[in-house]
Amino acid sequence: MFNADYKKRRQALQTKLQGGIIIFPGNNEAPCNYPDNAYKFRQDSSFLYFFGINRPGMTGVIDLDSSEEYLFGDDVTMDDIIWMGPQPSVKDMAASIGVDNSGSTQDLKTLVTTAARQRRQIHYLPPYRHDTMFALEEMLGIPAAELKAKASLPLIKAVVDLRSVKEPCEIEEIERACDIGYEMHTTAMRLCKPGVKEQYIAGVLDGIAASYGSMTSFATILSQNGETLHNHYHGNILQTGKLMLTDAGAETVNNYCSDFTRTVPVGGRFTSRQKDVYNIVVACHDHAIDFARPGQTWKEVHINVCKVLAQGLKDLGLMKGNVDDAVAAGAHALFMPHGLGHMMGLDVHDMEGLGQVYVGYDEETRPSEQFGLASLRMGRRLQEGFVITDEPGCYFIPALIDKWRAENKFTDFLNYDIIDTYKDFGGIRLEDDVLITATGSRFLGKKHIPLTVEEVENIMNE
Using one digit for the tens of pLDDT, what is the confidence trace for 394-409? 999 999 999 999 999 9
CA dist 63 and 138 (Å) reads 20
CA distance 270 to 192: 13
DSSP-assigned beta bridge partners for residue 297:
381
Amino acid residing at 389: T
Phi first, then psi: give them for residue 24, nearest 5 degrees.
-115, 90
Distance CA 424, CA 427 (A): 9
What ranges do the domains of the chain cover? 6-164, 168-460
Strands of 73-121, DSSP E: 101-103
Most distant pair of Cα atoms in the chain: their distance? 74
Among candidates 287, 261, 302, which has minimal Cα distance to 429? 261
CA 15 and chain centroid, separation: 28
Q: In Å, how far from its chain's centre is CA 114?
A: 37
Q: How many CB atoms lie within 10 A of CB 182?
A: 19
Q: Give the three-state DSSP class for 266.
A: coil
Average of per-residue pLDDT across 24-50:
96
- 153-189 pLDDT, tens digit each: 999 999 999 999 999 999 999 999 999 999 999 999 9
Range 6-164: architecture per CATH: 3-Layer(aba) Sandwich (3.40)
By the 10 Å C-beta count (0-12 exposed, 13-18 middle, 19+ buried), 130 is classed as: exposed
Query: In the structure, what pLDDT confidence band is assigned to residue 1 with cuts at 50, 70 and 90?
Result: low
User: Which run of H or E residues covers position 340?
Assistant: none
Measured CA to CA, the distance from residue 151 to residue 457 in angstroms comes to 50
Among 172, 236, 232, CA closest to 198 = 236
What is the C-alpha separation between 133 and 218, in angstroms, rounded? 23
Non-local CB neighbours of 375 within 8 Å, separated by 6+ positions: 337, 338, 339
H/E segment holding residue 94: helix 90-96
pTM, 2 dp: 0.95
The pLDDT of residue 219: 97
Q: For the CA atoms of the chain, what is the radius of gyration?
A: 24
Q: In Å, what is the CA distance from 285 to each residue of 24, 175, 227, 448, 452?
A: 38, 19, 18, 13, 11
Count Cα atoms within 13 angstroms, Cβ side, for 461.
Answer: 13
Mean pLDDT of 310-317: 98
Q: Is the pLDDT of residue 213 over 90?
A: no
- Classify 33 as helix, strand or coil: strand
Q: Count of residues for the chain?
A: 462
Q: CB atoms < 10 A from the CB of 407, how many?
A: 9
Q: What is the mean pLDDT of residues 325-341?
A: 98
| DSSP codes of every residue in 389-434 | EE--EEE--HHHHHHHHHTTTTTTTB-HHHHHTTTTS-EEE-BEEE
- What residues contact 358, with CB distance under 8 A and at least 6 apart? 156, 157, 160, 351
What DSSP letter does each residue of 208-250 carry, written as one string? HHHHTT-EESS--EEES-TTSTT-----PBP-TT-EEEEEE-E
Closest listed residue to residue 156, CA positions, set 354, 382, 447, 363: 354
Q: What is the pLDDT of residue 3?
A: 86
| pLDDT tens per residue across span 228-274 | 999 999 999 999 999 999 999 999 999 999 999 999 999 999 999 99
Interval 113-124: pLDDT, tens: 999 999 999 999
User: Average of pLDDT values for 223-229?
Assistant: 98
Rounded mean pLDDT, 206-226: 96
* Amino acid residing at 156: I
Q: Which CATH superfamily is 168-460 part of?
A: Creatinase/methionine aminopeptidase superfamily (3.90.230.10)
> How many other C-beta atoms can be found within 10 angstroms of the C-beta atom of residue 195?
9
Q: pLDDT value at position 10?
A: 98
% pLDDT > 90, the chain:
98
> In sequence order, what DSSP letters do the residues of 73-94 get, joined into one string?
-PPPPHHHHHHH-----HHHHH
For the cut 70, the answer to whether the pLDDT of residue 442 exceeds it is yes
pLDDT at 6 over 70: yes
Phi and psi at residue 260, in whole multiples of 5°? -125, 155
User: Which DSSP state fits 341?
Assistant: -
CA distance 192 to 264: 8
For the stretch 63-115, pLDDT in tens is 999 999 999 999 999 999 999 999 999 999 999 999 999 999 999 999 999 99
Give the Cα separation of 151 and 149 in Å (integer): 6
